[in-house]
Amino acid sequence: MRVFLSLLALAVIALGIAMTLTDIPFGKPKADIATHYVENGREDTGAVNIITSVVLGYRGFDTLGEVAVLFVAAMGLGAVLATGTRTPKANGWEPASLVLYTGCRFLFPLIVLFGAYIFIHGHLTPGGGFQGGAIIASAFLLTYLGCRGRRVHEAWSSAVESLGGLTFVVLGLAGLTAAGHYFLSAFLPAGTLGQLFSGGIIPLIYIAIGLKVGSELAGVIDRLVEESQ
């Protein structure tokens, strides 16, 4: 009975969505707003990567909110896991073999470098702060798997996390006091399109996000590994 009712509910929802979708022409750009972004994005924001011009230019406030969502999720995880009974156990895991250990130590800086490249070039090439941060966190995950004794220094990671978020907000507030009195307005010179030093505040924000997301996800991995021991 319960299964039948669930299936019925799902069918009704699916039917409704399908009926609405018939009103949405497939593949045709209906939106003049999207066209506006594609045509004016470069000039308005100074970012060659159109997606970045939307994510950090036109809709930068959403991105600030998303950074907050990730922050809340990481904090919430920390709060929930911290409430369980904590008995510090020596981890009885066998150390990894020399090949694995050396390989991880060799790859760690390269992965971090690649992550940094992704977020520093976020306004020029595909990728950005979230992607670069996730790559950096994967370097820490590798370390946790390969070099089992090593841990993230908690004070450092939370300091970086905090500074990254603060930078974003402070850059936004600086826009409020500087040009045009708008939050997150581009108050730095846009520079030459396509150069590394261009795009005003966008690369700075992406660097802040990259560091924040990287340290945050590394912290999440740290807590989950601790919990699994």
24 touches other proteins by CB under 8 A = yes
Q: How far is the CB of 49 from other proteins (least distance, A)?
A: 17
- Pattern 28-67, binding to other proteins, x per CB under 8 A? -xxxxxx-xx------x------------xxxxxx-xxx-
Near other proteins by CB under 8 A: residue from 10, 11, 38, 75: 75
DSSP state of 200: T
Near other proteins by CB under 8 A: residue from 7, 8, 72, 145: 72
Near other proteins by CB under 8 A: residue from 1, 4, 5, 22: 22
Site for other proteins in 165-204 (CB under 8 A): 165-166, 168-170, 172-173, 175-176, 179-186
Identify the three-state secondary structure at position 216. Answer: helix
The H or E element spanning position 103 is helix 98-120
Q: How far is the CB of 2 from other proteins (least distance, A)?
A: 15
Near other proteins by CB under 8 A: residue from 1, 5, 69, 99: 69
223 touches other proteins by CB under 8 A = no
Site for other proteins in 1-20 (CB under 8 A): 13, 16-17, 19-20
58 or 117: CB nearest other proteins:
58
Per DSSP, the residues of the chain read: -HHHHHHHHHHHHHHHHHHHHTTS-TTS---HHHHHHHHHHHHHH--SSHHHIIIIIITHHHHHHHHHHHHHHHHHHHHHHHHS----PPP-PPPPPHHHHHHHHHHHHHHHHHHHHHHHTTTTSS--HHHHHHHHHHHHHHHHHHSTT----HHHHHHHHHHHHHHHHHHHHHHHHSSTT-TT---S---STTSSS-STTHHHHHHHHHHHHHHHHHHHHHHHHHHH-
Binding site for other proteins (CB under 8 A): 13, 16-17, 19-24, 29-34, 36-37, 44, 57-62, 64-66, 68-69, 71-73, 75-80, 82-84, 155, 158-159, 161-166, 168-170, 172-173, 175-176, 179-186
